[in-house]
Amino acid sequence: MFRKHILDPLRDCLVSSAAQNAFCIGETFYSYSDFGKKISSIRSVLKDQQTGNRIGIVANDDLETYASIFAVWFEGLAYVPLHPMQPLERNLDIAGQAGITLLLNSDGKAEYVHQVTTSDLPEAASDFDFTEVSDDSLAYILFTSGSTGKPKGVAITRGNVGAFMAAFWKAGFAIDASDRCLQCFDLTFDVSVQSFLVPLTRGACVYTIPHDQIKYSYVFGLLDDHQLTFGAMAPSMVRFLRPYFDEIDVPSMRYVIMTAEASPLDLISEWAKCVPNAEIFDFYGPTEATIYCTYYKMPRIASAKELNGMLSIGKPMDGITAVMLGEDGEILPEGEKGEMCIAGPQLTPGYWNNPEKNAEAFLNLELNGETRRFYKTGDVCYFDADGDIMYYGRLDYQVKIQGYRIELGEIEFHCREFLGGHNAVVIPVENAMRNTELVLFVESAADVNETLSSYLKSKLPSYMVPAKVVLQDVFPINTNGKVDRNKLKAMLN
């Protein structure tokens, strides 16, 4: 699967589309030939080193970083991305958990041991033959927020990624070498994998966002200056553009994918006028089921399906099975709301070195006389009469901020660590922009604002650091004896 849908098509592009543009990074174009040269020289370093099968890659925005991913894959290895703007301590924890013994970094800063700097490597002979490994081998491990205060690794195999690509094409996308495709996601987030694989396996060009740019403004620049034709984006990013919708007209856009969080119908309907010729899709998927697993094509003329103002997430992709599970573990009929569970070839073999979490998140269910392994998404949904999935909300304290999946428990854990016993509760609220923002309540009278914020910045990525801190002498308690999160939230108004 991986070879057929990823390695073979990319190799064909490296050889036969050598002069075509593969990337536009910070307004500089790089051809498939430039890309192939970088891949080959990084491979020669990997061959010289004693490595485990998991290689750390510092996720910078440059050609070397993307070439590192494919060098790792051509060598039969897997990558673990580390974001340069996240705290070093968090990255070291991830590197430790993943057992990384070699790290590729295009930035000369030597913050890690066993680091190879990829920006000034000598040229090597073209090397596009790949080391054959099975589809059961790992492709990448992505670390997401974990409620115990430690990030947790989702291990994705080559077979998972291959199955994803096969199913993605079947959803009806025709991309060729003339396409110009947006890649506006961090490499630590799996929608990035779709965003670079779709163009690179079709000879098209990938347009990226430099880390030091204001994303929404830069994305508009790319859409407008380069007349992009394909792109996945998060609704929260599109919302930043909303005050300027009357200035935006991108007739070149053929396909727009809304993903990473629930899509508000009103926002996307207005956005649709800015991309008048695009087919608009709402894609849903947890990292555990490899990028996306259901999708809904938004009708341009008829009214779109929605629940509480959020677009339907449509039907399962090819090969994916979705069921709604009731509170007693029974599979619910159409129309009944329950926890969505997903099965199929895109399903992760499990969390990395985390048997407790694996026991919690996966279960076997019998369906049509066959026992299959399902992932419990934590998302509450139901099937409508046409078999489209309507998205209701989360079961737990997980929220999405700017498309990033966050366990509130992880933030609360670090706050309590710092406060040495004082209670801390994080509440997601909608700000004036209608984007989700985090407010931290601290059960203390002492002003800890400044020191706590800087402590959290050293432990957590910036999108997890609460925007506001509220000090509260005593927390309200509900009838179950738990902190009443609803009352705390009400205090904000």
Partner 1 sequence: MNRSEITEKLNTIFPTVFNKPGLSITESLTASDVDGWDSLTHMILISEVEKSFGITFKLKELNKMKNVGDMIEIIASKL
Residues 354, 152: contact at Cβ < 8 Å? Answer: yes
Contact status: 28 vs partner 1 (CB under 8 A) = no
Total residues in contact with partner 1, by rule CB under 8 A: 24
Interaction of residue 422 with partner 1, rule CB under 8 A: no
Q: Whole-number minimum distance, CB 414 to partner 1, in Å?
A: 18
Q: Quick one: 221 or 349, whose CB is closer to partner 1?
A: 221
Among 92, 124, 248, 419, binds partner 1 (CB under 8 A): 248
The answer to the question of residue 27 lying near partner 1 (CB under 8 A) is: no
User: According to the binding rule CB under 8 A, does residue 399 interact with partner 1?
Assistant: no
Question: Under the criterion CB under 8 A, does residue 287 sit at the interface with partner 1?
Answer: no
Residue found by looking up tokens 């399902």 in the block: 374
Q: Does 240 contact partner 1 by CB under 8 A?
A: yes
State which residue, 211 or 372, has the beta carbon closest to partner 1: 211
Q: What secondary structure does DSSP assign to 193-235, as a single string?
A: HHHHHHHHTTT-EEEE--TTS-HHHHHHHHHHHH---EEEE-H
- For residue 351, give Cα distances in angstroms to 156, 219, 356, 398: 9, 33, 9, 17
By beta-carbon proximity to partner 1, the closer residue of 437 and 484 is 437
Task: Kindly state whether residue 13 participates in binding partner 1, applying the rule CB under 8 A.
Answer: no
- Minimum distance, C-beta of residue 489 to partner 1, in the bound complex (Å): 20
Q: How far is the CB of 209 from partner 1 (least distance, A)?
A: 11
Q: With CA atoms as reference, report the closest residue to 51 among 32, 30, 72.
A: 72
88 binds partner 1 (CB under 8 A): no
The contact mask relative to partner 1 for 465-484 (x = CB under 8 A, - = no) is: --x-----------------
Specify the 3-state DSSP secondary structure of 28: strand
| Count of Cβ atoms closer than 10 Å to residue 109 Cβ | 10
Q: Which two tokens stand for residue 244?
A: 């300027």
Binding positions for partner 1, 209-238, rule CB under 8 A: 211-218, 220-221, 224, 237
Question: Smallest gap, in angstroms, from Cβ of residue 304 to partner 1?
Answer: 26
Residue 170 three-state SS: helix
Contact flag: residue 404 with partner 1 (CB under 8 A): no
**If you search the block for the tokens 């799996």, which residue do you land on?**
190
Q: Residue 318 or 437: which CB sits closer to partner 1? A: 437
Nearer CB in complex with partner 1: 169/245: 245
Burial of 318 (0-12, 13-18, 19+ CB in 10 A): middle
Q: Which of residues 432-461 bind partner 1 (CB under 8 A)?
A: 433, 435, 437, 457
Q: Of the candidates 303, 296, 312, 219, which has an alpha carbon nearest to the alpha carbon of residue 257? A: 296
Kindly calculate the radius of gyration of the chain based on its CA atoms and give it in whole angstroms.
23
Tell me: does residue 49 bind partner 1 (CB under 8 A).
Answer: no
CB 281 within 8 Å of CB 258:
yes
Task: For residue 296, give the nearest of 311, 314, 284, 310 by alpha carbon.
Answer: 314
Using CB under 8 A, list all residues that contact partner 1. 211-218, 220-221, 224, 237, 240-241, 244, 247-248, 402, 433, 435, 437, 457, 462, 467
